Each structure stands twice: as structure tokens, then as C-alpha cells.
Amino acid sequence: MNSDDSTFETYFANPPADIDMEAFDRSRVPRHISCIMDGNGRWATSRGLSRGEGHKAGIVSLREIITACVRLDVEVLSAYAFSTENWSRPQQEVNLLMHLFAKTFIEELPLLHRENVKVVFLGDISALPEQTREVFEYGLKQTEDHTGMTLALAVNYGARAELARAARLIAEDVRAGTLDPEQIDEDTVAAHLYTAGLPDPELVVRTSGELRLSNYLLWQVAYAEFYITDTYWPDFDRWGLIRAILAFQGRDRRFGGLTQSKES
Ligand code: FPP
């Protein structure tokens, strides 16, 4: 994240030719934007670099998107950093990612303070290597009183595991006699997910062109708009984000109802 004192106007000055900032409606920016950061490996391979270099470049992009979302007054930015399935990658890559997560978090703490960003984790961070877990726990404490944007990092996250965990927690409440099974509704489930208390994502961005959800936020994205771009994550920048939001603003969100024109 850059140490800038930019405003919306300066951060988004000089857009590329295909973007019309006049058409951008600042009052209709999604409250919660979620990014499936895909393509670091392919970005690196296409340049003859190691996959690790791709992940490092991916961190630079994440930094820019965090700053962009703060300037846009987004309430929650979530990002899929490491899935429960990613443990099956070569041990060397897993080790590098865990090291990069810890290093990045420490390096970015001053910015998180300055930008008043609160970090939360989605996923089971207790199962991470000790050094990474300790840095994450330290970072959580350091940012817990921040009142600006929430940055929700999905690390060791899988949506099916999250739903199974929620069922387990609910069952424990029932067994303890604090919850009547008859009272279990959608709010009960939502309150037992890692995302409890956060608004659902309104916009999910997936980079690198894959048309999959990859076990990500299955419950929470029920009514989200999807934006898929072929751009690899390390090439995704503030303007990619603006294109995604412009596409979102052009969507007709019906939530299972009808558009006004069809109602009459
Ligand atoms: C997907 O690319 C990306 C990842 C597995 C890791 C992304 C993580 C970051 C950008 C940093 C997150 C930072 C913190 C502090 C948690 P890929 O390897 O799947 O790319 P490929 O599909 O081209 O192989």
C-alpha cells in the first residue's frame, strides 16, 4: 500500500481511455466487494518468472485494491488468499505463501493503521504454521479497534468446511439447551459463519477468466453479482476495479423479483 494522502479525486485521476468516470456513480458502490485473486502463477510463467514472483506481484495488486476500496468508501473488501484445497500444492509453494502472508501483514500494518482498516480472517487460522498464525493473531489485535473498512482475508478457507462448522456450532447450542431447533433460520446460520456481522458480498470479482466459485463463500454470494475478467491478478489494478464496479452499476438486480418495467 502506498503512503499517499490521496482522495477519491486524485486516486482516480487520469483514467484510461475506455473508462468514463462521469458515468461512475459514487453513491452506488457495492458495500462489500470480494475478490478471487487468481492467475498469479500464470502471470509469472508467461514472463518466465517463478510462481513465487507471481505471488509477490499479487500482493502489490492487493495493496492497490485495498487503497482503492478505502478511497471508494467500500465497507468490506474480502479476498480469497488460500483455500483448504491449496494445501495440496507443492510444499515449497505452500511454505513460500505462508512466509509471504506473515511478511506482508507485518509490512502493511502501518498502512492498515493509517487507513483505519480492520482485518478479520475467514477460515481456520489455528491450523496455519506457527509463525504465520502468530503474526495474524498479532495483526488482528493491532487492528481490532479500527473503524474504517474491514479487510476480510480468507486463509485456510473452504465454504463447505465453513458450513459444516456452522452446523456443528448450532448443534452445540442445541445440546447446551440455549437454542430451540424450531428457531433455527437463515439468520441463525449466517450468525455462525466466519462472516457473521458482515454484509454479504454484492460484487464478486474473479480474475484470470476462470468461471468457477472454487468453494468460496457459497452461502454469502446467493445474490452477488459476478464479474469475471481475463486479466491475471497481478495486472488487476484500480482501473480494473472501476470497470468491475461500472459493470455492477449496469446490472439489473432483481433478487428474485421483477424489474419495474415488467411489473406494470
Ligand atoms: C492464486 O493464484 C493466488 C493465490 C493462491 C495467493 C494469493 C495471495 C495473495 C495475493 C496475497 C495475500 C496476502 C495476505 C496477507 C493474506 P494461482 O497461484 O492460483 O495462479 P494460477 O492459477 O495462475 O496458478
Q: Which residues pair with 120 in a beta bridge?
A: 152
Task: Look at ligand 1, atom 16, and give the residue with the nearest C-alpha.
Answer: 101
> Is 170 within a domain?
no
Residues near ligand 1 (Cβ within 6 A) = 37-42, 55, 58-59, 62, 81, 86, 101, 104-105, 153, 155
- Give the pLDDT mean for 115-139: 97
> Is 190 within a domain?
no
Map residue 129 onto helix, strand or coil: coil
For 191-224, write each residue's pLDDT tens digit: 999 999 999 999 999 999 999 999 999 999 999 9
> Is 220 within a domain?
yes
Residues 233 and 40: beta-carbon distance below 8 Å: yes
Residue 262 confidence (pLDDT): 55
pLDDT band at 255 (very low <50, low <70, confident <90, very high): confident
* Atom number in ligand 1 closest to CA 83: 5
Residue 11 confidence (pLDDT): 97
> Is 6 within a domain?
no
- Give the pLDDT mean for 14-22: 97
Q: How many CA atoms lie within 13 A of 254 on its CB side?
A: 9
Percent of the chain with pLDDT over 90: 93
pLDDT band at 101 (very low <50, low <70, confident <90, very high): very high
- Give the pLDDT mean for 39-49: 98
Range of the domain at 46: 29-158+200-249
> Is 13 within a domain?
no
Catalytic residue among 4, 20, 38, 173: 38
* Atom number in ligand 1 closest to CA 45: 23
**Number of structural domains found in the chain:** 1
We report the CATH number of the domain holding residue 37 as 3.40.1180.10
Percent of the chain with pLDDT over 70: 97
> Is 185 within a domain?
no
Q: Is the pLDDT of residue 243 over 90?
A: yes
Amino acid 44 reads: A
Top-confidence residue, 1 or 120: 120
Residues 9 and 232: beta-carbon distance below 8 Å: no
> Is 172 within a domain?
no
Q: Quick check: is 86 catalytic?
A: yes
Q: Quick check: is 38 catalytic?
A: yes
pLDDT band at 260 (very low <50, low <70, confident <90, very high): low
Residue 261 confidence (pLDDT): 56
Q: What are phi and psi of 10, to 5 degrees?
A: -80, -35
> Is 11 within a domain?
no
127: nearest Cα among 166, 77, 67, 84: 84
Q: Which residues pair with 79 in a beta bridge?
A: 35, 153
- Show Cβ contacts of residue 80 under 8 Å, excluding neighbours closer than 6 positions: 34, 35, 36, 37, 154, 157, 214, 216
Q: Is the pLDDT of residue 264 over 50?
A: no
